[in-house]
Amino acid sequence: MPSSRMERLKTRPQFQAALSGRTLAKTAHFALHCMPLVAGLHAPLFSLYGVWLGAMVPKRWARRAVTRNAIKRQIYAVSAEYASQLGVAAHVVRLRSAIDTKQFVSASSVALKRHIRAELQHLFERACTVRPESAQGC
């Protein structure tokens, strides 16, 4: 039975497992990876059968900790809005390119947060519409 809330990926093996799945959607800065969970098969890594999500924001693409943390907060906030549409699977949202520091001078500016939120909403909309509704997981 699936968990009623979204769980967060915490360990390196969980992230590696989720990244080994397919890429559901990409935007200019983000990629959403997904690995379907099969009841019993993934029990050692995922204690609950349900929707799991992790956020990867490398220093390479967002140098300042305040920027990385702001991006992660946006990822978790936006993903919560789409949790019911995501399948029973482990998902990872990965920052895949640099944030333009000339366009967004402040690491935690309102403009940056709005831009990131809009792009994440687009990412999740694409992921939820691309996958057939009848498919379990990804």
- Tell me, yes or no, whether 103 lies in a domain: yes
15 lies in which domain range? 7-130
Task: Answer whether residue 52 is part of any domain.
Answer: yes
pLDDT score of 130: 65
In a domain, 75, yes or no: yes
Q: pLDDT of 98-137, one tens digit each?
A: 988 888 888 878 999 999 999 999 999 999 886 544 345 5
The region, left, alpha or beta by phi > 0 then psi within -120 to 50, assigned to residue 62 is: beta
Whether residue 136 lies inside any domain: the answer is no
| 3-state SS, residue 94 | strand
Examine residue 61 and state whether it is found in any structural domain, yes or no.
yes
pLDDT tier, 5 (very low <50, low <70, confident <90, very high otherwise):
confident
Whether 20 is in a domain gets the answer yes
In one letter, which amino acid is 96?
Answer: R
The distance of Cα 53 from the centroid of its chain, to the nearest Å, equals 6
- Answer whether residue 71 is part of any domain: yes
27-47 tens-digit pLDDT: 999 999 999 988 777 778 888
Please check the confidence at residue 4 and state whether its pLDDT lies above 70. Answer: no
Tokens 């946006």 map to which residue? 74
Task: Evaluate whether residue 51 is within a structural domain.
Answer: yes
Number of domains making up the chain: 1
87's CB contacts (< 8 A; 6+ apart) are: 34, 36, 51, 131, 135, 136, 137, 138
Domain with residue 44: its CATH number is 3.30.230.10
How many residues does the structure list for the chain? 138
pTM score, whole prediction = 0.88
